[in-house]
Each structure stands twice: as C-alpha cells, then as structure tokens.
C-alpha cells in the first residue's frame, strides 16, 4: 500500500469533521483507502480535491473526556471534537491494538452509529494498519474513526443472540419488513421493536461453534448481503450498501482483535445488518430482466474497480471493493452484477457541478509510467478498460497489460490509437508519447533532449522514434526523406511532428506518407534500435514503400548545431 498517498489524503481529511451538512457522513478517508489499496493512487488527489469541498471543518473541542467520565459522553454527537482529542491522546500513550481492543468492546453495543459508518471507517483504517502503514497520519485516522463511532453510538433494537440453523442468505430472506418504510433511521428502527417476529428472525442465524468459525460466517454474511443488494438494492441504494460493507469491515478487523471479541462482533454486526435490511429493503426483489449481466471480461474485478473509480461516487467505490472481494472468494458472478447494479442505482453526479467537472477534466500527471498515465487518462474519460479498448480498436487484454506494466515497449501504433481514443493533444500528447518510450529502468527522459523543441537539437529522440533535420552531419542512412524545404515539418514545436511521423511508420499507407511530406519540410525518420544507434525505418522517396534496410548509424549528439541554420 502506498502510504505516502494515503497519508497525504488522511492529513487533509483530518481537518474536516466526520459529518457534513445535515448529518451526512464524510466518506473521504474510506474511499481513499480503497483507491490506494486497489492500485489507483493516481486518482486519489483529484478525487479528494473534488470531494473535500463539500465537507465541514472538524468541530472544536468543548471539554475534556477522561477515562472516568467517557460513558456520559457516549452517543453525544456534539462532542465529536472532544472524542477526537481523547483518542489521539490514547493512541499516543498505548499501542493501537490495545486501544482498539478496549474500545471495540465498549462500542459494539452502539455499532449502528452513523448507520454503521463508525465501524466501517474503523475497519478501513485497520486494514491499512495491518498492511504495515503504522505512522502518525494512520494512527490519527484511527482516532478520528473511533471518535465518530463513540460520538454517534446508536444501538439496534433488542434481538436475540443467533441460535438457529439458517445460513446468512436464508436468514436475510426470513427477515420481516417494518410496516412503514419511511422517515429517519431512528424512526424506522423504532418500528422493529413492534414486530412480533423480529427477535426470532434475527435469532434464526446459525451461530459459530467456536471463534475460529466466525471469519467464515462473517464472509458468508458479506456474500449474502452483496447478492441481496443485486435484487433489493433499489429499495434504498445508498443505505443498503451498508448491509455488505459493515460486516466486511468487521471481517477485516478480526485479525487485530482478541478471539474473545469475534463472536460478539458477529452478533452485533448481524443485528445491525438485519435492522437496516428490514427497514429499507423492499419485500420483493427486482425481476431478473431488470438486473444487469455480470461483465464477461477475463479480469472482471479489475474492470469493476475501474468503473467504480470512473463513476466516482464514494458508496459505489466502497461497495465495488466489497463485491470484488466476494467474487474473488466465491466465484459468484452475482457479486459482479451487484457492483454494476450499485453503479446504475446511485448517480455519478453526487460529485456535482464543478466538482465532477474538475475530476473529469483534470490534466494528466506530467510524470510517471506509461501504465499510470494510461490509467489516469482512462479514468478522466470515465471509461472502463473494455470501453477504451473498443474505442481504440484494441483488445481489452492489451489495455490491461499496458496499465499493469506487463508491456515495457508499446508499439507506436498502439500508443497513437490510445492517444486518439483519449483525445490527447498538445503537451499532454507529448508527455504521453515520451512516457511510452521511456526506458522503464530510468526515471528521466529516454532521449538526450526529450521535451525540447526543434530548435534545441539536431535530433529529437522519443524513446524508439527519432526525427533528424535535413542536412544533419551524421551519415545518411538508406531510405528517403519526407519533403525538402530545410524545415522541421514546418513547426516550431517538434512534438507536434512526431505524431505525424509515428502515424506514417505504423499505418504503411502511401497516402499518409504523401500527406506527411506535404504538411511540412524535410525530416529523416528512424526507428531507434537502442539509446546509441539508429536502425533505419525510412521509406524510399517517391515509392511509398519500405526501403527494407536496417542500417545502424550513430546517434547525433544533443549539443551539435543543425546544418544550414
């Protein structure tokens, strides 16, 4: 996990409160953790820039919470600033696992805090800590997560401890619904106590025989809730996401907890999940014809995450992360379809107006690997790997391999097709091409003057493509020139020229070659065989076909002046 990117996001969010507006939850730290863990670090800064504008400042402390009087402050949302200061002190004095174990036991009865956002935020930061990201920003994030949970602690209606025989999916299906599915969370939960069969239906879940059974039982609950979101998510697309993400947060926190807390954790999160499902899920599921088909691509989980990042909604990002885990663990394609369902039910415009426009129109990073630039460009265009491949007339595997860095030297034609599909131009296209042919073992430009202009050097090297002016003092290779007016394609900015050159080299089309010659003056076109030599890939003048030679000639020095200027 890239701690630097995540830590920077945490530090920005720690100046904001856990809620904004009318008690809406701040999902920023949770979504940022998913983006980083899923390998989308390049999207974090722009996502945070767009999201953080809506948030309110962290409330100031109004008093001090101590070990002696904490119980009186539990569930008091006005004291979230006090709780944050308290947990920062606790984590400065004790190991984080000790603080977590102590307060997990105290907070479990109020697990419905923020409609389970307290436990979900805690689960995300614990995953980062367990991955080795133990540092001040991450520990502060744990303090903020526990503080939110404590300030908004809310219990679920009384229900019996699981003692039945039903697996999680059957237990969910057996839950009754409240008679009036309207109003606030508290109003809906208040109706559960009036349901005569509520306690028995919650108790119908099969309990774990030993603590060692708890992880598998929780995983089954996450899977069941994910599958039921597919059919019932339309009842309340946002809140029903929590029926899967809350137990998933508990599942991933178990390794940091004493085994004695595992079974109580399952009991508490099952009660919260059941309460949300009974309060918001419709009695009947959507007809099969209304449900999306799961993606058929070979790397379906990567495609789902890509779509979620492009969608940009925080709930979709987190739910897709959970659904992808379910599919990886079980192979159930319904989990993939559920992620697509969330993306269709929850509008992407939750980053509205200027926020969404900024995220989509943000410029590409100026540095980084070609794979990172490709992924960033695709996200900006809100395209999945499958969609970009179709637009560029390439295979989805090609796009996937390029983003993963499995292809070190992409073909010029591939780079051009992708640049065209993403509508890149000007400096962005220049950086794109330079990154495509940068030696992956080097951190700097591949050529001696990469990033310069035609007037800066007699040879502008872009990885595996070089352009030399008419009359350069090196030996002439076998092949032809394009044009003959003593100019560099008639343009001051040479990168604008390589696009034409690369197009000529990759299409093999006589018309393209002729047009390239007409659009400017002379230039030699070479395929760069290595950093030190040219391998001729020119085309014989007037014949419009390959000269066939592959003569190795010296690479001109960057400081030598052009002849005739």
> Based on the number of CB atoms within 10 Å of its own CB, is 328 exposed (0-12), middle (13-18) or buried (19 or more)?
exposed
Q: Mean per-residue pLDDT for 204-225? A: 97
Mean pLDDT of the chain: 77
Interacting residues of 253 by C-beta distance below 8 A, sequence separation 6+: 100, 104, 122, 123, 126, 127, 265
pLDDT in tens, 353-400: 334 333 434 455 555 678 878 887 887 776 777 778 888 888 888 888
**Ordered structural domains, the chain, with CATH:** 3-151 (no CATH), 168-350 (no CATH), 367-436 (1.10.260.40), 460-554 (no CATH)
Q: Mean per-residue pLDDT for 63-81? A: 96
Q: Phi and psi of 562, rounded to 5°? A: -70, 140
pLDDT in tens, 434-481: 777 653 433 332 222 222 222 222 333 333 233 433 333 443 333 333
**Higher-scoring residue by pLDDT: 202, 475:** 202
Helix or strand holding residue 353 (H, E): helix 353-361
What confidence tier does 154 reach under pLDDT thresholds 50, 70, 90? very high
**How far is 269 from 249, CA to CA, in rounded Å?**
10
Helix (H, G, I), strand (E, B), or coil: what is residue 100?
A: helix
pLDDT reported for residue 365: 58
């Amino acid at each position: 996990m890239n701690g630097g990117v995540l830590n920077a996001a945490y530090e920005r969010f720690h100046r904001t409160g856990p809620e904004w507006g009318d008690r809406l939850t701040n999902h920023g730290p949770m979504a940022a953790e998913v983006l980083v863990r899923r390998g989308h670090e390049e999207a974090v800064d722009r996502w945070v820039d767009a999201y953080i504008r809506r948030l309110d400042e962290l409330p100031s402390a109004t008093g001090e919470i101590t070990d002696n009087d904490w119980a009186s402050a539990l569930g008091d949302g006005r004291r979230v600033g006090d709780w944050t200061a308290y947990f920062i002190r606790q984590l400065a004095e004790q190991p984080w696992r000790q603080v977590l174990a102590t307060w997990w036991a105290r907070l479990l009865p109020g697990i419905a805090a923020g409609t389970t956002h307290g436990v979900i935020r805690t689960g995300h930061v614990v995953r980062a800590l367990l991955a080795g990201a133990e540092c001040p920003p991450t520990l502060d994030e744990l303090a903020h997560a526990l503080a939110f949970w404590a300030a908004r602690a809310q219990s679920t209606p009384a229900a019996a401890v699981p003692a039945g025989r039903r697996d999680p999916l059957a237990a969910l299906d057996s839950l009754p619904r409240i008679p009036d599915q309207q109003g606030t969370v508290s109003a809906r939960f208040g109706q559960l106590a009036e349901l005569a069969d509520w306690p028995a239906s919650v108790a119908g879940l099969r309990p774990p025989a030993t603590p060692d059974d708890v992880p598998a039982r929780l995983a089954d609950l996450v899977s069941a809730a994910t599958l039921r979101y597919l059919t019932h998510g339309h009842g309340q697309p946002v809140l029903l996401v929590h029926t899967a993400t809350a137990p998933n947060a508990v599942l991933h926190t178990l390794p940091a907890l004493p085994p004695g807390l595992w079974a109580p954790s399952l009991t508490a999160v099952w009660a919260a999940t059941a309460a949300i499902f009974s309060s918001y899920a419709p009695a009947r599921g959507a007809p099969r014809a209304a449900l999306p088909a799961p993606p058929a691509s070979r790397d379906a989980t990567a495609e789902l995450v890509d779509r979620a990042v492009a969608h940009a909604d925080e709930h979709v990002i987190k739910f897709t992360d959970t659904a992808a885990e379910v599919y990886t663990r079980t192979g159930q394609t319904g989990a993939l379809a559920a992620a697509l369902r969330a993306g269709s039910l929850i509008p992407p415009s939750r980053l509205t107006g200027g926020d969404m426009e900024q995220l989509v129109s943000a410029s590409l990073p100026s540095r980084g690997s070609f794979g990172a630039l490709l992924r960033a460009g695709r996200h900006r265009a809100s395209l999945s790997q499958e969609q970009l491949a179709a637009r560029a007339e390439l295979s989805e595997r090609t796009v996937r391999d390029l983003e993963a860095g499995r292809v070190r030297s992409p073909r010029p034609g591939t780079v051009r097709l992708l640049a065209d599909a993403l509508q890149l131009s000007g400096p962005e296209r220049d950086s794109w091409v330079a990154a495509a042919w940068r030696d992956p073992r080097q951190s700097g430009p591949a050529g001696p003057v990469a990033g310069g202009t035609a007037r800066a050097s007699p040879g502008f090297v872009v990885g595996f493509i070089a352009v030399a002016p008419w009359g350069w003092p090196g030996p002439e290779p076998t092949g032809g020139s394009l044009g003959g007016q003593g100019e560099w394609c008639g343009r001051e900015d040479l990168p604008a020229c390589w696009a034409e050159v690369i197009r000529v080299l990759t299409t093999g089309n006589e018309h393209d070659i002729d047009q390239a010659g007409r659009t400017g003056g002379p230039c030699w076109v070479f395929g760069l065989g290595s950093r030190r030599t040219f391998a001729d890939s020119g085309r014989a003048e007037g014949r419009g076909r390959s000269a066939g030679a592959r003569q190795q000639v010296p690479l001109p020095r960057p400081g030598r002046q052009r002849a005739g200027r």
